[in-house]
Amino acid sequence: MYTRWSYYAAFAATIVVVSGGYAQSNVLAVEWRRYPSYANSPTFSPDGSMFAAVGDGVVYLYELPGWIPKYSFFANARYCRFSPDGRHLATLGIDGIARVWDIQNGSLWQTFSVAPDHGRGLEFDGTGQRIAVMGYRVRVWDVATGALLFERSGSSSRFALARNGRYLAMEGEPATQHLWVFDVDTGNRIASFTPTYGLQLEAIAFSPDNGTLAFTTGNTTYLIRTDTWQVRAQFVDWDQAASYRGLAFSPDSQILYAAGGYGQENNQTIYPLRIRQASNGQLLRSVYLNPLYGSPSGLAVSPDGAWVAMERVVPIEVYHTPTQTLMVKGEFMDAAYDIAIAPSGRWYATAESPRWATRRDARTGARIYRTPEGGHSQTAIAVAISPDEARIATGGQDSRICLWNAETGALEQILTGSLGAVLCVAFLGDGSTLLSVGADGFIRLWSVQTGTQIRAIALGLQIHAARLSTDKQWLAIGGQDRRVRLFRVSDLSQVAQSTPFDAIPNSLSLAPNGQQIAVGLNSGACFVLEVPSMVARSLGSLGTGSVCLAFTPDGRYIAVSANRVNLLRFVDARTGAVAFETPYEISNGIRTMVFTPTGRSLIMARGDTAQLRVKNPVYRVGDATTDGCVNDADLLAVLMAFGETGVELAPDTNGDGIVDDTDLLEVLFHFGEGC
């Protein structure tokens, strides 16, 4: 079982790859990434080349100016910050530990602890020599030595550390209703402010030049000179029904950005971003944020002042100052519960929450469409693509089966008759017949043309998992009695049955030839069943949770992961030996995955809703027939297809889109491997 420290090792491997360091043998080669648009704790790197934000414990990093997903890692994180020199990235976890990572080599450089479960914020000073962390107490450390420089109990999650590292402002003891400013070097309180109506600290920030402290309490914002600690200006945002939650200065300290409140205008709720003169609070401009996203809780400004990022759960909404326009970066990703790839390998479809299917380009991950309302009333949990790629079928928790036009996404039919969640759907033969397996214990056949039920077989028990082999000849089913049953699809006759497992099977995958069944239990344990004996061989355990399994197209390996488990493992289907294992880019585990038809790549939908395409680390180079053995048949396959161009051509062994002499050389170079 992977411990939390393994997650941190994943980041080390990640950083080394993206920073141009040495190659890691357990690092996946990522072809594309699609991240959910989480926007907690936004931060920009000091050179403005990267942006980071947190969501669901995962840190997501984007390359600027294109906002291209760069990498992610799981850190139980609530907050993240780049150091001013760009050498480090700090994360503050739910466990109350701040971790400082060396970006050059990926090593964990320092850790600083506050009370567990009470990490509330962190900040570097302007040099990166000091870091302040808020828990039940505010603590300031020397980053290099780990020496504790300052400690004070606090009563809110709002505090600010000046760029000079000396001044720290925070809410005083609850009964005092004061804002206190401390000298970190001496530990002495050097200033105190008592707002007219008491203090309810909502937002606070020092200017980059250390000259101004701004804080908001109620609807009033105060601007404090730090040379005299006197109020320079104060202003009330009368239009606001709630106070600012985020304050941030422009890099030159001339502009103050304020957001996080809401108000009423023309009988409508508004969420403004206020742009003010930092010297006196004069309002320069108001930008109205999208009301669908709610009120931001913080702000971050890029080093060049070009971007202002709003802090919220989702999405990444940014204001581009040169063009004075609002933009949403990233994509809102729904949780995917099943995935199917088209026979051509050009596109794929996912069954998603809350009630639809999504079609995406398999080469880029770009969303082509999401099906409209009117199909499922609950989450879609099963998906299939017809052999001619004309239709998509989805099965839902609402007991419905929906047939969609694959080109347009339009709903064509709803098949009713199932009495429970539809766990599996599959087109048979030429696509005119659809097979479904329901939690109600029935295997059903349907006419795609008429939508009528052709046949139904009752198994007499609740079903928890079902999966067909890629050739659609075999069907495996996991039941409430903890057994796995194998059926011949041609006549739906049962041909084998396992003895009961210790827990209910909730995940299944069949070898392409139907001779093995990979089984995942709700306890996290994994097994392989040999057909027809149904003798079980253990593949180990991934802890607890829903296991995700997929055979490689050549049947040689099984990809194993689990939701909320940061690990992807490839095991030899015959021996159970681990051939490859990585936590890299497996943040929050994998919920569902599918190999491309050639087996060169794997498309994954993670537990945090991100989707990625990676190169298959156990792909047999030169295997043009995808049978696991490089031999004469592969030479013939390349020669017969010589000159052909396209996507996912099996004889195109190097995947460059054309079958040519380089593919022939690869077959010759690897001749005999796997045989």
* DSSP character string of 311-331: EBSS-EEEEETTTTEEEEESB
Q: Is residue 486 part of a domain?
A: yes
Integer CA distances (angstroms), 38 to 34, 55, 59, 92, 118, in order: 12, 5, 9, 16, 21
The residue behind tokens 């190097």 is 654
Is the Cβ–Cβ distance between 375 and 394 less than 8 Å? yes
Is residue 309 classed as helix, strand or coil in its secondary structure? strand
Q: Are residues 230 and 215 in the same domain?
A: yes
Q: Is residue 7 part of a domain?
A: no
Two tokens, residue 416: 């009713």
CA–CA dist 38, 173 (Å, integer): 33
3-state SS, one letter per residue, for 531-563: CCCCEEEEEEECCCCCEEEEECCCCCEEEEEEE
> How do residues 432-459 score in pLDDT, each as one tens digit?
999 999 999 999 999 999 999 999 999 9
Q: Are residues 342 and 306 in the same domain?
A: no
Two tokens, residue 540: 């180990």
Q: For the chain, what is the domain count?
A: 4
Q: Are residues 557 and 470 in the same domain?
A: yes
CA–CA dist 483, 485 (Å, integer): 6
Q: Is residue 473 part of a domain?
A: yes
pLDDT given at position 175: 57
Q: Are residues 508 and 601 in the same domain?
A: yes
> How do residues 159-175 score in pLDDT, each as one tens digit?
999 999 999 999 887 65
Q: Are residues 504 and 590 in the same domain?
A: yes
Q: Is residue 74 part of a domain?
A: no
Q: Are residues 583 and 654 in the same domain?
A: no
Last residue of a domain, one of 309, 330, 351: 330
* DSSP-derived secondary structure for 434-483: EEEEETTSEEEEEETTT--EEEEEE-SS-EEEEEE-TTSSEEEEEETTS-
Q: Is residue 276 part of a domain?
A: yes
By residue range, what is the domain housing residue 609?
Answer: 462-617
Q: What CATH number should be reported for the domain holding residue 200?
A: 2.130.10.10
Q: Is residue 8 part of a domain?
A: no
Is the Cβ–Cβ distance between 65 and 579 less than 8 Å? no
Last residue of a domain, one of 433, 458, 483: 458
Is the Cβ–Cβ distance between 477 and 437 less than 8 Å? yes
Sign, CA dihedral 369-370-375-380, equals positive
Q: Are residues 270 and 348 in the same domain?
A: no
Two tokens, residue 281: 């609070």
Q: Are residues 326 and 346 in the same domain?
A: no
CA–CA dist 146, 443 (Å, integer): 63
Question: What is the CB-side half-sphere exposure of residue 93 using CA atoms within 13 A?
Answer: 17
Q: Is residue 439 part of a domain?
A: yes
Q: Are residues 498 and 602 in the same domain?
A: yes
Strand order of the β-sheet with 557-562 is: 547-551, 557-562, 565-572, 578-582
Q: Are residues 657 and 540 in the same domain?
A: no
Backbone angles phi, psi at 437, to 5 degrees: -125, 130
CA–CA dist 297, 205 (Å, integer): 13
CA–CA dist 163, 205 (Å, integer): 10
- The residues of the chain scoring below 70 in pLDDT are 1-25, 106, 115-118, 155-156, 174-176, 240-242, 544-545
Q: Are residues 272 and 405 in the same domain?
A: no
pLDDT given at position 176: 66
Q: Are residues 298 and 378 in the same domain?
A: no
Q: Is residue 660 part of a domain?
A: yes
